[in-house]
Chain A
Amino acid sequence: GENVEQHPSTLSVQEGDSAVIKCTYSDSASNYFPWYKQELGKGPQLIIDIRSNVGEKKDQRIAVTLNKTAKHFSLHITETQPEDSAVYFCAAGQVIYNTDKLIFGTGTRLQVFP
Chain B
Amino acid sequence: GAVVSQHPSWVICKSGTSVKIECRSLDFQATTMFWYRQFPKQSLMLMATSNEGSKATYEQGVEKDKFLINHASLTLSTLTVTSAHPEDSSFYICSASGLAGVTGELFFGEGSRLTVL
Contact = CB atoms under 8 A, between A and B. Distances in A.
A98 B43 contact: no
The binding surface of chain A is classed by DSSP as strand
Contact of A100 (B42, B97, B113): B97
Interface in B20-58: 31-32, 34, 36, 41-46, 49, 51
A95 B104 contact: yes
- Most chain B beta-carbon neighbours within 10 Å: one of A42, A45, A51: A42
B31 A98 contact: yes
Contacts of B107: 46
Interface in B89-117: 93, 95, 97-99, 103-111, 113
A62 interface: no
A44 interface: yes
Name the residue among A34, A42, A100 with the largest chain B CB count within 10 angstroms: A100
Contacts of B46: 101-104
A73 interface: no
Given A42-B111, A44-B93, A99 B43 contact: no
A104 B98 contact: no
B26 to A, nearest CB: 14
Contacts of A105: 43
A43 B43 contact: no
